[in-house]
Structure 1
């Protein structure tokens, strides 16, 4: 009878929290078990998902489990690990040669300090002391410190993640074509989504300490847990539909401006550019979705440095845009080929070297100001 009453009392926040936690843990198990080239990246993402599920479990765990105050606080301090692991995950995906080293142990410092702050009264305090803390828990100096420090830490790591992405962006676009560039877009989206979730959590905690707590705090919890569920479902679908997302670039790869500073001959190399255009038209290396500037340089038997300067500096184009121009030109020919009227847009985009419908449509519209379907209708 009591169990039935307890289930009837569960609100939407609890049900959604259970669902989000279950899906997150299930996806974490999948990430840990799947075989991938970048094992470290998968492990960090799996660890991030597990820590995230621990946080999400806080929305319903008290309805089912009675836990001591010290265990409750230790569970809460696990959040100190969430954003550092997320930041390291971003680094590991951006740079394929990223490795965990002893210097990365300093990321544990907030977690250690947070637990040291809790030790005197929450971990080692007598029963009477802990009961006194429970009477006005959210206004204890330890909990206030925890909330402020966690929010400051989150801002720091999200900013650092964006900085890493901004640095990696030009390297991605200067050295890779469509396939690997999708990694950057995936990372950027997931960082923005988690910043949005952090913002909701910040608003929730403002309500928690304000006079309108009863009116808005519960609603903000529901919004937050729904947001976590939605983003979890989103990156599950994203990862399953794009299994090649987790490819990084070598962190030693240099930007063109850095190569130019090292180069003694800064004059335009017309011979390389002319040979490049002939090679692109005759050999069609752009049909490879994973084409990189190193691959192309190897095929042309020249140095990646010379090729990078020729494309990114002399032609004033990112390698990404340079390759996509050839793909789009070929797609335009196929779309207007009257001998192949039954060839679908999806078939064409794969035939010319794209592996994503969205990236194909974006590149095509950038080049022609029309969608592929509109272009076909106007030219047939």
Structure 2
């Protein structure tokens, strides 16, 4: 099998899997339909882009269609960015201002109109790689990719900070999944960028082989995402986009609320003691889905005040604050000889965790030992 046939075979498989993934995302039953549909369109656009490795044989008589197919890739990263927003924020909705993400595609096609769409001929078709318009779109794609990758990482950073300050569920699958995906896309695009540089160098053979590598990477990424989605169709727990970080709440608080209390250390100490006493006596941390809003309702403290109290005054994330009580209870159970028949898995569920990996990570963070090692040393 020659290089071109190998590349076309890989591309055809990738396109098939991408379209299969899009169909799955459109048909799977889930609460977050918007996120699934955005991701489905991302896969459809990716399939159109990957089809360029073999579809040219069928559309070579329609050069304008070939050019438009090539520009469609400018929709991929905006769709991925919107998908990240839809997954991270449960109240995310598409708005009219999101049409601005179509601007690069619109600009590029307007640039192509004068010389290409209206005047395409065989001579221009043969020298298209050397045309200024092609250089323009390649540079635009690189800038667009950097912009959306950085934007996605910033969204994930804020998501993680808000999650830690407001939620106690020890599972962070959403963040890990999206972070891994964004990182993989970044690495894959670095290969694409290198391929495009080599395209205009003396290393033409390396460029051709790199096409095969990029096609293979695209296939593996697609299959990995398919397996992730199939294994975890209910993977995500979005947060409310209206939630704010404590550092952003403090400047907004007026003299009638927490700032008055900041001048009364004794009142702050009483609040902290009341909170700790409630945590020990009522054990709300046993609920694996406990949020700071739910805890605020239980102890009758405004959620903003409770957030400032824990995240600012006690200098802990709500996530760590709750997990500390879970670990302390787990330590007591592990030391209790009368409960030696309980497995580590049973204990972690009993104290409010919902996965063995997150329990082991948190336990080792607080004790420098694994749960089994701690039990044996007690």
Map 1:174-213; keep pairs closer than 5 Å: 174-178=165-169, 181-213=172-204
Match of 1:265 among 238, 253, 260: 260
Q: What is the CA-CA distance between 1:176 and the residue it aligns to? A: 1.1
CA shift in 2, pair 1:335/1:26, >3 Å: farther
Residues 150-161 of structure 1 correspond to what in structure 2 (within 5 A)?
A: 150-161=141-152
> Are 1:120 and 2:104 matched, yes or no?
no
Work out whether residues 272 and 307 of structure 1, in 8 Å CA contact, stay in contact via their aligned partners in 2: no
Contact 1:311-1:322 at 8 Å conserved across structures: yes
SS in 2 for 1:211: coil
Segment of structure 1 superposing worse, 68-77 or 368-377 = 368-377
Residue in structure 2 matching 1:32, options 26, 30, 40 = 26
Corresponding residue number in structure 1 for 2:9: 15
How far, CA to CA, are the matches of 2:36 and 2:168 in structure 1?
Answer: 23
Q: Deviations over 1:228-287 (max 9, x none)?
A: 222223333333444443322222212112322213324252233223223222333223
**Matching residue of 2:129:** 138
Q: Which residue of 1 aligns with 2:362?
A: 363
Question: How big is the shift at 1:108?
Answer: 0.6
Change (3 A) 1:229 1:276: farther
Closer/same/farther in 2, CA of residues 134 and 342 from structure 1, 3 Å limit = farther
Partner of 1:276: 275
Cα displacement string for residues 64-107 of structure 1 (whole angstroms, at most 9, x for unaligned residues): 76562211111111111111111112222222222211111111
| Structure 1 counterpart of 2:42 | 48
The question of whether the paired residues in 2 share the 8 Å contact of 1:180 and 1:248 is answered with no
Aligned to 1:88: 82
Corresponding position of 2:285:
286
Runs of 5+ unmatched residues, structure 2: none
2:10·2:219 contact (CA, 8 Å) conserved in 1? yes
User: Does the C-alpha gap of structure 1 residues 375 and 145 become closer, same or farther in structure 2, counting only changes over 3 Å?
Assistant: same
Q: For residues 345 and 11 of structure 1, do their structure 2 counterparts lie closer, same or farther at Cα, with a shift above 3 Å needed? A: farther
TM-aligned CA deviation for residue 295 of structure 1: 1.6
**Which among 224, 230, 235 is matched to residue 220 of structure 2?**
230
Question: For residue 102 of structure 2, what is the aligned residue in structure 1?
Answer: 108
Quick one: distance in 2 between partners of 1:293 and 1:372? 27
RMSD (CA atoms)? 2.5
Given that residues 164 and 318 in structure 2 are in contact (C-alpha distance below 8 angstroms), is that contact kept between their aligned partners in structure 1?
Answer: yes
Task: Write the distance in 2 (CA, Å) between the matches of 1:266 and 1:154.
Answer: 47
Q: CA deviation at 1:142?
A: 1.9
Q: TM-score, normalised by structure 2?
A: 0.88
Spell out, residue by residue over 1:170-213, the C-alpha distance to the aligned partner (whole angstroms, 9 max, x if none): 21111112356432232222221211111111111111121102
**Which residue matches 1:164?**
155
- Distance in 1 between residues matched to 2:288 and 2:80, nearest whole Å: 28
CA contact (8 A) 2:171 2:355 kept: no
Q: Is the 8 A contact 1:173 1:181 kept in 2?
A: no
Aligned residues: 369
Q: CA distance change for structure 1 residues 99 and 280 in 2, over 3 Å: closer, same or farther?
A: same
- Which residue number corresponds to residue 245 of structure 1? 235
Query: 285-294 or 313-322: which moved more?
Result: 285-294
Q: Give the unaligned 5+ runs of structure 1.
A: 1-6
Q: Is the 8 A contact 1:334 1:348 kept in 2?
A: yes
Q: Cα gap change, 1:189/1:244 in structure 2, threshold over 3 Å: closer, same or farther?
A: same
**Cα distance 1:352–1:41, how it changes in 2: closer, same or farther (>3 A)?**
same
Give 3-state SS (helix, strand or coil) of 1:96's partner. Answer: coil
Residue 361 of structure 1 deviates from its aligned partner by: 2.7
Residues in 2 aligned to 1:64 and 1:331: alpha-carbon distance in whole angstroms:
64
Deviation larger for 180-189 or 200-209:
180-189
Verify the 8 A CA contact 2:30 2:233 in the aligned structure 1.
no
CA–CA distance in 1 between the matches of 2:200 and 2:316?
A: 52
Q: What is the CA–CA distance in structure 1 between the aligned matches of 2:47 and 2:114, rounded to whole Å?
A: 28
CA contact (8 A) 1:364 1:372 kept: yes
